[in-house]
């Protein structure tokens, strides 16, 4: 496996109300309701759609180039990996819900190396999302083989999966378990006011003789503070620095700071701005007597 890579979401169906699991997490099956709840609690949103070539360009699996994988990929201070130690993470166009790329584990599940893989769910396919900074919300689009079933676990609490409300017809009958997947993508969202640092998506119906695969895309992750932002590239010519910024979350205020000595940790703010797009270009001018200067971008 490759080393981890670091980078500097005809019956008339009714949507049920959000459902609370035995833990603190609330599951959502309606994206509008989820976004409304997210905004009411003023969480900072980070979006991961796997389109960023800087972060995900080395794990593009295609017919031409074959399967390109990594143990994990970290972007926006969030790490994506497989839910099993025997698989890697990759992206492909076939896994996408929107854009050009979606994510999945490869191999799907641990059917080749696991134990008791003819027991449904023991070797199931899935993804794992972790962050050193507590996350408070997560949403994504998921699809899978017919008959596959997706469960979501927070902080390895496998006894208390996040509960998602059933879908029922207009009379409240003919209810279907929302966790069952088909080849059409569906929305999953959750908010946990207690916070979590580990989220596992796991398929529970597959077994060695009837394997079930899943694919995911368009993640939304909620934080109380924006993750550390980053400068994609910087060109300094004389006393002018041209910065190509990768802004991570909106709304958020960022500072561009400078220092003459990294060891002194003496950083002074030069300017500040509010993020309004995924990328932007900015120019900073220094005093001519500066022979060497270090720049950083951070959220206060």
Tens of pLDDT along 95-146? Answer: 999 999 999 999 999 998 888 898 988 999 999 999 988 999 999 999 999 9
Q: Are residues 205 and 236 in the same domain?
A: no
Read off the DSSP letter of residue 167: B
* 163 CA to centre of own chain: 20
Torsion 282-286-292-295 (CA) sign: negative
Report the pLDDT value the prediction gives residue 81, as an integer from 0 to 100.
96
What's the rounded Cα separation, in Å, for the pair 224 and 133?
9
| Residue 103: how many other CB atoms lie within 10 Å | 27
Report the pLDDT value the prediction gives residue 198, as an integer from 0 to 100.
96
Report the pLDDT value the prediction gives residue 176, as an integer from 0 to 100.
87
Q: Are 175 and 165 in contact (CB under 8 A)?
A: no
Please state the domain count of the chain: 2
Q: Are residues 154 and 265 in the same domain?
A: no
Q: Are residues 33 and 144 in the same domain?
A: yes
Query: 187 - beta bridge partners?
Result: 141
Report the pLDDT value the prediction gives residue 268, as an integer from 0 to 100.
73
Q: Are residues 211 and 243 in the same domain?
A: no
Q: What is the extent of the structural domain holding 235?
A: 230-298
| Domain containing residue 98: CATH number | 2.60.120
pLDDT in tens, 158-180: 999 999 988 888 888 888 899 99
Torsion 259-260-262-264 (CA) sign: negative
Q: Are residues 216 and 171 in the same domain?
A: yes
| Domain containing residue 235: CATH number | 2.60.40
Domain boundary among 201, 223, 245: 223
Tokens 């676990």 -> residue = 153
Q: Are residues 84 and 107 in the same domain?
A: yes
Read off the DSSP letter of residue 254: E
Q: Are residues 217 and 235 in the same domain?
A: no
Q: Are residues 216 and 161 in the same domain?
A: yes
Mean pLDDT by 10 residues, the chain (300 residues): 38 37 79 91 88 90 95 90 94 95 96 89 94 94 96 94 88 87 96 95 94 96 75 58 57 66 64 60 58 60
Q: Are residues 215 and 247 in the same domain?
A: no
Q: Are residues 159 and 25 in the same domain?
A: yes
Torsion-angle region of residue 155: left (phi > 0), alpha (psi -120 to 50) or beta? left
pTM of the predicted protein model = 0.73
The token duo for 97 is 């819900």
Domain boundary among 223, 239, 270: 223
Q: Are 197 and 155 in contact (CB under 8 A)?
A: yes
First-to-last CA distance in the chain? 37
**E-strand spans in 204-300?**
214-223, 230-237, 240-246, 249-250, 253-259, 268-274, 279-285, 294-298
Q: Are residues 35 and 129 in the same domain?
A: yes
Report the pLDDT value the prediction gives residue 300, as an integer from 0 to 100.
57
Domain boundary among 193, 223, 253: 223
Buried b (16+ CB within 10 A) or exposed e, 210-236: ebbbbbbbbbbbbbeebbebbbbeeee
Report the pLDDT value the prediction gives residue 246, as an integer from 0 to 100.
59
Q: Are residues 129 and 271 in the same domain?
A: no
What's the rounded Cα separation, in Å, for the pair 143 and 180?
9
């Amino acid at each position: 496996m490759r080393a981890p890579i670091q980078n500097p979401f005809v019956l008339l169906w009714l949507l049920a109300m959000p459902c609370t699991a035995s833990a603190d997490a609330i599951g959502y099956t309606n994206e509008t309701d989820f976004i409304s709840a997210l905004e009411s609690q003023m969480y900072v949103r980070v979006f991961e759609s796997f389109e960023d070539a800087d972060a995900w360009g080395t794990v593009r699996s295609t017919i031409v180039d074959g399967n390109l994988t990594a143990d994990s990929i970290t972007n926006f201070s969030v790490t994506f990996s497989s839910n099993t130690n025997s698989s890697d993470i990759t992206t492909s166009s076939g896994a996408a819900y929107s854009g050009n790329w979606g994510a999945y584990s490869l191999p799907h599940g641990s059917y080749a190396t696991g134990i008791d893989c003819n027991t449904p769910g023991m070797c199931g396919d899935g993804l794992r999302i972790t962050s050193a900074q507590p996350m408070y919300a997560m949403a994504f689009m998921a699809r899978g083989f017919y008959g596959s079933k997706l469960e979501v676990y927070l902080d390895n609490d496998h006894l208390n999966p996040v509960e998602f409300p059933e879908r029922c017809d207009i009379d409240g009958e003919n209810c279907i378990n929302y966790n069952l997947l088909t080849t059409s993508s569906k929305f999953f969202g959750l908010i946990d006011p207690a916070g979590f640092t580990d989220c596992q998506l796991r398929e529970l119906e597959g077994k060695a003789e009837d394997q079930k695969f899943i694919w995911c895309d368009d993640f939304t992750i909620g934080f109380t503070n924006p993750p550390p932002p980053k400068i994609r590239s910087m060109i300094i010519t004389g006393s002018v620095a041209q910065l190509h910024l990768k802004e991570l979350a909106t709304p958020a205020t960022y500072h561009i700071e400078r220092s003459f000595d990294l060891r002194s940790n003496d950083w002074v703010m030069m300017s500040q701005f509010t993020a309004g797009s995924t990328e932007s270009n900015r120019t900073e001018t220094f005093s001519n007597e500066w022979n060497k200067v270090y720049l950083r971008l951070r959220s206060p």
